[in-house]
Structure 1
Amino acid sequence: MLLHIHPDNPQERNIKTVVECLKRGGVIIYPTDTIYGLGCDITHPEAIAKIARIKGIELKKAQFSFICCDLSHLSDYAKSVDTPVFRILKQLLPGPYTFILQASKQVPKMLKTKKDTVGIRIPDNKICHEIVKALGNPLMSASLPMDAEVEYYTDPETMHDIFENLVDIVIDGGPGEILSSTVIDCTSGQPELVRAGAGPWTGNE
């Protein structure tokens, strides 16, 4: 299904359609403030495994992140965050960043890395925000399998043509961006750039 949702004023009925799909264990393609992503409810193991299959990777090697609507979920899924690190998160989020933190016991085992970490993301995107808010818990998120054709991961209709038999809903929230989020590892207490992306990073934040 290709579902059009207004990027500035997301229609409540369409958000409800997406959330009902997620609660049934569905997989969606949805917009963020960077590139479009694959998403599912973090409480549905079969949906998480399905995303790993779509990406063609082993689940234990996957690097998924949690999409939250605000920092209130932080204490649920990440161990205590140092004040300087929390200050940086508060300064840069919502925004095009993924912060790697120590995972709490509430993170499903199948989503933890060998290092027992979790990626936390709070996109500056209204559609994304409304979905997670209505769902009541974070989305498990992964990037689309990347291709050389930019249109493939920026145009929702093209995504639908490619993935309609693999996912339940492709949300059309307008053209996507071409850069991924900037990834910052905060597990050592000293934030370290892992991947440069859409969010600027000087290391002096």
Structure 2
Amino acid sequence: MAQLIKIYEDNPNQKDLKRMADAMRDGALVIYPTDTVYGLGCDITNKTALEKIARIKGVKLEKANFSFICEDLSNLSDYASQIDSHTFKILKRNLPGPYTFILPGNNNLPSVFKKKKTVGIRVPDNKIATELVRLLGNPIISTSIKDDDEVIEYTTDPSLIAEKWDKLVDYVIDGGFGGNIGSTVIDLTGDEPVLLREGKGSIEL
């Protein structure tokens, strides 16, 4: 059964977040708030946890398009390559923020993602998410919590999320009501930015 843990974004409880980070290191799946919708995440280095998320989403792990949630841009070169000054300026200007930027991947990607040529990077403007990454010590692999409902695409109430995902995840962090619009997805692998999905982030870069 999933534990619902209340954490306030303006002053995140470090003890609770450290407990979440330690659990993720051991393979726990955690649903947590971002600056857009709630996300389902795990430690990028834990293959068993990665496989669980892939099963939940009904995709093959090596082909899954998960986002990498980072604390900031300092570790970008760990997973992305060929970041020129123009690309970096776009990232620096818009992150933290409600964007997923698609970048060329490099050879440091976890073994299960070695065949992927690109990586989706997110730095949410949400202290709970970024503090969780900082305490974990490496990025969180993440995917949005989506509903099958045709009307309500994203559940925004964390207590309802905990009910729906009770048997599938270990923890749900209640950081207040989430949004119902996903991140804006922009491909930066070419000469010019390409909009792949319009979401919460402005498309004026």
The Cα shift of 1:16 comes to: 1.0
Query: Aligned letter for 2:104?
Result: Q
The Cα shift of 1:7 comes to: 1.5
Residue pair 1:77, 1:107 contacting (<8 A) in 2 also: yes
3-state DSSP class of the match of 2:128? helix
CA distance in 1: counterparts of 2:126 and 2:188, whole angstroms = 23
TM-score using structure 2 length: 0.94
Q: Gaps spanning 5+ residues in structure 2: where?
A: none
Equivalent in the alignment of 2:122: 121
CA distance in 1: counterparts of 2:75 and 2:10, whole angstroms = 24
The Cα shift of 1:74 comes to: 0.6
CA distance in 1: counterparts of 2:35 and 2:152, whole angstroms = 16
Pairing 1:1-205 to 2, within 5 Å after superposition: 1-111=3-113, 114=116, 116-148=117-149, 150=152, 153-202=155-204, 205=205
Q: Deviations over 1:15-71 (max 9, x none)?
A: 011011101011110000000011000000110110111112222331101000100
Q: What RMSD in Å do the two structures reach over aligned CA positions? A: 1.4
Percentage of matched positions with identical amino acids: 52
Select the structure that is richer in helix.
Answer: 1
Q: Deviations over 1:104-163 (max 9, x none)?
A: 11111323564x110000000010011001111000011123332639621111111111
Residue pair 1:101, 1:117 contacting (<8 A) in 2 also: yes
Residue pair 1:55, 1:144 contacting (<8 A) in 2 also: no
CA distance in 1: counterparts of 2:125 and 2:33, whole angstroms = 10
Q: Deviations over 1:160-196 (max 9, x none)?
A: 1111111010110000100000001011131110110
Count of aligned positions: 202
TM-score using structure 1 length: 0.94
Query: Aligned letter for 2:142?
Result: S
Residue pair 1:82, 1:189 contacting (<8 A) in 2 also: no
3-state DSSP class of the match of 1:2? strand
3-state DSSP class of the match of 1:72? coil
CA distance in 1: counterparts of 2:154 and 2:194, whole angstroms = 31
3-state DSSP class of the match of 1:29? strand
Query: Aligned letter for 1:74?
Result: L
